[in-house]
């Protein structure tokens, strides 16, 4: 078996440099690669292009990159909940490509699967369709979207083994499995790194072929954006 | 005028047995509280869950289990978890029967705008464009007028669009309306105590009134 383990987050991101294009898993703050984010903050790399469904909140997740002006461009579907993001966007400091969430997910899936482009109905008749080829299939209009890949994909899983096989937990799965397939180098951080043979092959979500580096994260804060509870 | 809870209660009457349903953020999320218990339905959360349960008790809060509004939730027995590509495959593929979402504006042709106010607010469309482009039945929950009294039911939307010719039904704090395929808001029901004249005055798009309009009832 090919072993993918690296010592820690610092080693895993050591060759990510200025101008890199990164995919980062997570929906809101759930399933984000917290340890890689911390390591990149220390490195203070600049001019990043980041593909991520959201942009974190002001003081956590990708929001921390924005505070340090590390990001040149975001490709996202929803960026509310982040005042600094909105400020940089409206002032023109930050370039943003807003993509419908399903289109974003499929562009990443397609990129990782060797599909250069596909037709989707999402965005027909809106500004998302501007400049894109429109074609009619069975009486309905669709627009052409392209697949996405990145220099690095940073994903977060629940468990992983030393061969890079990954299992996700709950809705922290979200964009992580597709992004794992679409990184030229995919870095997986996991809550629990287990020896070969400890994971049931029937339950693997992401096969290790997609993962180049894996390490166990030092700690996970797992901050909750909207703690909503019932009483009684 | 209806409260947000009453809008949600009226929308709950649109739910049918056996449906898979996606609820948007805000008033649509409240609809879950009023779906009659005898109907078996499954709620989809586009971040990757079928089978949304109630909000957790404090001791059961799990940061790895949230809905599309990033609220902590629980799962019902029989739930399934999946990734975002799978989630939108089931949405685009027409497997989700009913989508309930909010709007800033709706046009008399069923166009919807709910993601951007140029120069002021840019939050992004999230999954709304995928949902409105594909759902079989789309119900919009919204206030009839903006805070400064401007009608949000228009001949054409002034804000950037989320989707075209997709909305089927609208429940506002004043009325239940249906989009006429030829253009126009067909008035189906009035909120208790609200007159047809008031609804007419507050609807900037073409209002179609056929005969007596009943007061609405709630689930």
**Which ipTM value was assigned to this complex?**
0.96
B161: chain A residues, CB-CB within 8 Å: 125-127
B129: chain A residues, CB-CB within 8 Å: 100, 102-103, 122-123, 126, 128
Give the residue among A21, A5, A66 at the shortest CA–CA distance from A41.
Answer: A66
**CATH class of the domain whose range is A9-114+148-216:** alpha beta
B92: chain A residues, CB-CB within 8 Å: 102, 120-122
pLDDT of residue A83 exceeding 90: no
Give residues 13 to 72 of B whose Cβ lies within 8 Å of A: 45-49, 54-58, 61-72
pLDDT at site A153: 98
Q: Answer for the pair A160, A167: CB distance below 8 angstroms, yes or no.
A: yes
Please report where in the chains the tokens 């200025």 appear, as a residue. A18
Q: What tens digit of pLDDT does each residue of A186-204 get?
A: 999 999 999 999 999 999 9
Burial class (CB in 10 A: 0-12, 13-18, 19+), A207: middle
Over chain B (219 residues), the average pLDDT of each successive run of 10 is 96 96 92 94 97 94 95 96 98 96 97 91 91 93 96 98 97 98 97 97 98 92
Q: Where are the domains of chain A?
A: 9-114+148-216
Phi, psi of B182 (to 5 degrees): -85, 0
Q: Answer for the pair A79, A28: CB distance below 8 angstroms, yes or no.
A: no
Q: Answer for the pair A99, A128: CB distance below 8 angstroms, yes or no.
A: yes
Is residue A9 helix, strand or coil? helix
Task: Decide if A148 touches B, using CB distance below 8 A.
Answer: no
Task: Decide if A114 touches B, using CB distance below 8 A.
Answer: no
Looking only at Cα atoms, what is the longest distance across chain A?
55
Q: What tens digit of pLDDT does each residue of A16-27 get?
A: 999 999 999 999
Pairwise CA distance, residues A168 & A171, whole Å: 8
């Amino acid at each position: 078996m090919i072993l993918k383990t690296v010592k820690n987050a610092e080693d895993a991101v050591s060759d990510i440099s200025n101008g890199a294009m990164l995919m980062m898993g997570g929906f809101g703050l759930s399933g984000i690669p917290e340890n890689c984010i911390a390591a990149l903050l220390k490195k203070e790399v600049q001019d990043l292009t980041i593909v991520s469904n959201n942009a974190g909140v002001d003081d956590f997740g990708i929001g921390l990159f924005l505070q340090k002006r590390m990001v040149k461009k975001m490709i996202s579907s929803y960026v509310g909940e982040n005042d600094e993001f909105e400020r940089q966007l409206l002032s023109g400091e930050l370039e943003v490509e807003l993509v419908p969430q399903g289109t974003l997910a499929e562009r990443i899936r397609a990129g990782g699967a060797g599909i250069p482009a596909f037709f989707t109905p999402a965005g027909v008749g809106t500004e998302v369709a501007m400049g894109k080829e429109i074609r009619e299939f069975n009486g309905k209009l669709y627009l052409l979207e392209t697949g996405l890949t990145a220099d690095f994909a940073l994903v977060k899983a629940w468990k992983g083994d030393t061969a890079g096989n990954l299992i996700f937990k709950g809705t922290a799965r979200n964009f992580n499995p597709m992004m794992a397939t679409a990184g030229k180098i995919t870095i997986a951080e996991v809550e629990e790194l287990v020896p070969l043979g400890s994971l049931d092959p029937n339950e693997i979500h992401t096969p290790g072929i997609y993962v180049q580096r894996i390490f166990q994260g030092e700690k996970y804060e797992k901050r909750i954006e909207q703690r909503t509870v019932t009483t009684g | 005028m209806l409260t947000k809870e009453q809008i949600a209660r009226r929308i709950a009457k649109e739910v049918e047995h056996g449906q898979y349903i996606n609820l948007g953020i805000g008033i649509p999320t409240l609809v879950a509280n009023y779906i009659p218990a005898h109907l078996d339905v499954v709620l989809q959360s586009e971040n990757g869950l079928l089978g949304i349960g109630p909000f957790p008790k404090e001791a059961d809060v799990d940061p790895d289990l949230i809905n599309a509004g990033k609220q902590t939730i629980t799962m019902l027995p029989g739930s399934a978890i999946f990734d975002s590509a799978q989630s939108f495959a089931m949405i685009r593929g027409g497997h989700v029967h009913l989508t309930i979402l909010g709007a800033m504006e709706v046009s008399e042709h069923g166009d919807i705008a709910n993601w951007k106010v140029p120069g002021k607010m840019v939050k992004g469309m999230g999954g709304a464009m995928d949902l409105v482009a594909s759902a079989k039945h789309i119900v919009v929950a919204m206030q009839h007028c903006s805070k400064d009294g401007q009608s949000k039911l228009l001949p054409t939307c002034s804000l950037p669009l989320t989707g075209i010719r997709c909305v089927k039904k609208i429940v506002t704090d004043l009325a239940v309306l249906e989009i006429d395929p030829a253009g126009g808001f067909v008035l189906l029901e009035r909120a208790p105590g609200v007159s047809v004249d008031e609804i007419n005055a507050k609807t900037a798009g073409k209002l179609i009134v056929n005969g007596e309009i009943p007061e609405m009832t709630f689930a």
